[in-house]
């Protein structure tokens, strides 16, 4: 049977390891929060999302391993406590460590699920565009209207469309249109030629997920802020590009 000194030393060791575990868990929580913020700041491209995701999950797994290691040490020493009070203390530590383990694993699952949903949404929209401002006619065949518009305005001949439909409720302004191409190349050509719409009050954009829309809004705000300060700034591939040179005044 272990002596009181041995048990005291064991508990000191467990308390120190639990203290270190608390610190690591706080770091893991901070990493998770940072990852979520970074994802919303990034342009939404899958490579960047996956990098942040992998880095964060790596931290989570490291903390999970630490949790499991310390939990194993506590459980293996349960029989060393030869008084009810010491047994109660060690059991309490074991319960706390299990709680940390469950919280870490829950965070991993939640983060993975969120990223899988976002990845699926982006994949489902990769052949889509959104058209705004295209005049709406009663009882129109939306697919025919869009096909004609693409051919005559954006030089996309014989466009193959899987779907084309209006969204939202009817009102004074024409409703937007979601267009799903069969061929992504044709979709990319349409987006590349959207400069031809200048002055027409018709807009064509990628069909973005809510997360991508939020990121785009923030990036546009960065562009506007930089331009107001006199810098050359523009949006490229969903990200704000700000040059170091200032715009030359025309006056």
pLDDT in tens, 134-162: 999 999 999 999 999 999 999 999 999 99
**Predicted pLDDT at 5:** 67
Full DSSP string of the chain: ---HHHHHHHHHHHHHHHHHHHHHHHHHHHHHHHHHHHHHHS---HHHHHHHHHHHHHHHHHHHHHHHHHHHHHHHTGGG--SHHHHHHHHHHHHHHHHHHHHHHHHHHHHHHHHHHHHHHHHHTTTEEEEES----TT--HHHHHHHHHHHHS--TT--EEEEEEES---SSPPEEEEEESSHHHHHHHHHTGGGGTTTT-EEEE---HHHHHHHHHHHHHHHHHHHTTEEEEEETTEEEEEEEEPPP--
pLDDT confidence bin for 11, thresholds 50/70/90: low
The reported pLDDT for the residue numbered 60 is 56
Q: Kindly tell me if the per-residue pLDDT of 115 is higher than 60.
A: yes
94 and 12 share one domain: yes
Domain check: are 174 and 220 in the same one?
Answer: no
* Domain stop point among 124, 147, 166: 124
Whether 145 and 236 map to the same domain: the answer is no
pLDDT in tens, 85-102: 556 666 666 677 677 677
* Domain identity same for 117 and 10: yes
Residue 195 has pLDDT above 90, yes or no: yes
Residue 42: alpha-carbon gap to chain centroid? 8
Condensed to tens digits (0 to 9), the pLDDT of residues 167-186 reads 999 888 999 999 999 999 99
**Is the pTM for the entire model greater than 0.85?**
no
CATH of the domain at 34: 1.10.132
**Total number of domains constituting the chain:** 3
Range of the structural domain that residue 79 is part of: 4-124
Question: Are 191 and 214 members of one domain?
Answer: no
Q: Say what percent of the chain tops pLDDT 70.
A: 60
Same domain? 11 vs 89 = yes
Q: Are residues 68 and 151 in the same domain?
A: no
Top pLDDT among 60 and 104 is at 104
Mean pLDDT score, 124-129: 94
């Amino acid at each position: 049977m272990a002596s009181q000194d041995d048990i005291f030393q064991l508990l000191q060791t467990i308390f120190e390891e639990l203290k270190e575990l608390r610190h690591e868990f706080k770091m893991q929580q901070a990493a998770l929060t940072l990852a979520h913020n970074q994802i919303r700041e990034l342009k939404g491209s899958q490579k960047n999302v996956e990098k942040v995701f992998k880095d964060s999950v790596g931290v989570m797994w490291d903390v999970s391993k630490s949790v499991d290691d310390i939990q194993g040490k506590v459980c293996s020493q349960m029989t060393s406590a030869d008084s009810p009070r010491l047994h109660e203390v060690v059991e309490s530590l074991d319960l706390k460590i299990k709680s940390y383990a469950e919280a870490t694993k829950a965070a991993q699952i939640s983060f993975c699920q969120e990223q899988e949903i976002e990845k699926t949404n982006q994949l489902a929209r990769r052949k889509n565009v959104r058209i705004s401002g295209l005049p709406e006619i009663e009882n129109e065949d939306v697919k025919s209207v869009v096909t004609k518009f693409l051919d005559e305005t954006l030089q996309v001949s014989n466009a193959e469309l899987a779907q084309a439909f209006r969204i939202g409720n009817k009102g004074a302004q024409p409703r937007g249109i979601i267009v799903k191409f069969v061929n992504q190349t044709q979709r990319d050509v349409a987006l590349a030629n959207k400069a031809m719409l200048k002055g027409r009050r018709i807009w064509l954009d990628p069909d973005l997920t809510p997360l991508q829309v939020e990121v785009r809004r923030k990036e546009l705000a960065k562009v506007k802020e930089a331009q107001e300060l006199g810098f050359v700034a523009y949006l490229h591939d969903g990200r704000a590009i700000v040059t170091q040179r200032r715009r030359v005044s025309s006056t």
